[in-house]
Structures are given as structure tokens and as C-alpha cells.
């Protein structure tokens, strides 16, 4: 992936707007100096163009839960042509028996649909298609959530959770300890959910969203 100077800065501006932030607000959210992305700082005293550092970009993507591919779209970069297919299952079906093992890996994807993806991902990655409006405004009906079962989960990650009862939910991990797991609802009208670890069969991180 190669992006020009103007595409990088345009991507940051579009990302900030999409998240409802100013450029200074975006920088602060990423733990950077509020003036980091100011237009006045994009040209050095010697007249050279100043690029955001790799470290700064990584902090921004992590703080806004944005993937590299999503940033490419904000920057106006065409995505690579799809080369791989990821198994796709309706989210409503995920709670039924016979689709996943106790670690959140698909038992068999022979009868699943599929979506094209521009790069090869880890073994076991799959996609769940959202139905209904329970996750608005973050996810809408038809959105496809690409999920990686063995990916490390950290606070503020968006995750798919399957309970021992069979219920499957998409939430944000707010807090996790040995005795309590707090899940934040994506719909602000819904309250947080507090669970004991024994209530949860498995959790898997959402690593990409196709909208």
C-alpha cells in the first residue's frame, strides 16, 4: 500500500469527520499533542513536507477502531481487487447448535455463503451478517462483520460473544477481570451488560466490517 502525502492527510481529515471529531480532537483521542495534525504543521521550517509518523498513525487507527483498509477508503485509495473468500453466516443463525465449537471456531462452513476479501486472513476467520437494527448507529442490517476467533481481545474492542445460554451478541468490551466482564452496547439506548466469565462460551474480535 502506497499513499501520497495528500492522501494521508486527506484520510486523517475524513476519518476525523466520520468520527465526529476535529483534527485536534482526533489527535487527543489517540493520545497525541492536539496540534499534531494542524495544517500549519504539515510543512517544516525548511519547506519540506511533514508526514504523520507510523507510530502516530497506529495510535489513531487503534483509538478509532479503524482498520488499514478503512483508512485507505477515507484517503480515497481504491481497495485491492478481492482474491479470497471468507465464509459468511447470518448473525441470527450463530446462536444455533452445530455452527461453532466451544472456542468460537466454525465446525463446518460447507453450507455457508461467502464474501470476497482483498487479502488472505488467518485460518478460522469468518463473517457474520447483521440483521435488524439493534446495533444502530454502529452497524446496520446487511453489514458483514469479519471475525477472528484467536485474536487478542483488549478493552474497547468490538467483539462477538456467545453465551452458555446460546445467545449471540455483538458488543464492545468495556472491562474484563477474573470475576466480571462488562460489555458495552453499540446502541446507546441499551444499558451495559455485566456477566461472570462462566456465563460466556466464547468471545471473538471483530477485525473488519464490510458495509
For residues 191 and 173, membership in a common domain is answered with yes
Write the secondary structure of 11-72 as one string of H (helix), E (strand) and C (coil).
HHHHHHHHCCCCHHHHHHHCCCCCCCCCHHHCECCCCCECCCCHHHHHHHHHHCCCCHHHHH
pLDDT of 44 reads 84
Of 48, 74, 100, which residue is a domain's last? Answer: 74
Residue 190 in any domain: the answer is: yes
Query: What average pLDDT does the structure give for the chain?
Result: 89
pLDDT of 163 reads 95
For residues 28 and 105, membership in a common domain is answered with no
Cell numbers given for 15: 476519518
Cell numbers given for 206: 471483530
How many structural domains is the chain composed of? Answer: 2
For residues 154 and 94, membership in a common domain is answered with yes
Q: In the sheet that 126-129 helps form, which strands lie side by side, from edge to edge?
A: 113-117, 84-90, 126-129, 144-148, 200-210, 158-163, 168-176, 181-184, 193-195
Q: Cα Rg for the chain, rounded, in angstroms?
A: 19
For residues 40 and 98, membership in a common domain is answered with no
For residues 114 and 41, membership in a common domain is answered with no
For residues 119 and 33, membership in a common domain is answered with no
For residues 91 and 54, membership in a common domain is answered with no
Residue 19 in any domain: the answer is: yes
For residues 107 and 191, membership in a common domain is answered with yes
DSSP-based three-state secondary structure for 207: strand
The CATH code of the domain that includes 149 is 2.10.109.10
pLDDT of 117 reads 81
For residues 112 and 177, membership in a common domain is answered with yes
The answer to whether the pTM exceeds 0.85 is no
Residue 134 in any domain: the answer is: yes
pLDDT of 200 reads 96
Separation CA 124–CA 149 (nearest Å): 7
The CATH code of the domain that includes 12 is 1.10.260.40
For residues 205 and 111, membership in a common domain is answered with yes
Q: Which domain holds residue 116?
A: 84-210
Low-confidence residues in the chain, pLDDT < 70: 1-2, 79-82, 211
Q: What is the pLDDT of residues 129-152, one digit of tens each?
A: 998 888 888 888 999 999 999 888
Amino acid at each position: 500500500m502506497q499513499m501520497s502525502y495528500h492522501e494521508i492527510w486527506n484520510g486523517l481529515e475524513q476519518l476525523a469527520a466520520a468520527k465526529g471529531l476535529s483534527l485536534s480532537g482526533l489527535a487527543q483521542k489517540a493520545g497525541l499533542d492536539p496540534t499534531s495534525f494542524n495544517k500549519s504543521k504539515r510543512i517544516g521550517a525548511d519547506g519540506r513536507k511533514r508526514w504523520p509518523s507510523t507510530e502516530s498513525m497506529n495510535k489513531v487507527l487503534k483509538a478509532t477502531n479503524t482498520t488499514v483498509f478503512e483508512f485507505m477508503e477515507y484517503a480515497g485509495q481504491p481497495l485491492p481487487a478481492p482474491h479470497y473468500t471468507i465464509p459468511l453466516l447470518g448473525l441470527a443463525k450463530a446462536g444455533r447448535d452445530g455452527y461453532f465449537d466451544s472456542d468460537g471456531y466454525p465446525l463446518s462452513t460447507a453450507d455457508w455463503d461467502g464474501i470476497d476479501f482483498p487479502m488472505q486472513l488467518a485460518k478460522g476467520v469468518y463473517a457474520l451478517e447483521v440483521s435488524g437494527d439493534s446495533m444502530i448507529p454502529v452497524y446496520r442490517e446487511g453489514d458483514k462483520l469479519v471475525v477472528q476467533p484467536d485474536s487478542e481481545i483488549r478493552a474497547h474492542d468490538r467483539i462477538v460473544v456467545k453465551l452458555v445460554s446460546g445467545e449471540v451478541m455483538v458488543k464492545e468490551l468495556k472491562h474484563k477481570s477474573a470475576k466480571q466482564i462488562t460489555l458495552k452496547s453499540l446502541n446507546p439506548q441499551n444499558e451495559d451488560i455485566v456477566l461472570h466469565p462462566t456465563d460466556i462460551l466464547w468471545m471473538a474480535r471483530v477485525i473488519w466490517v464490510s458495509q
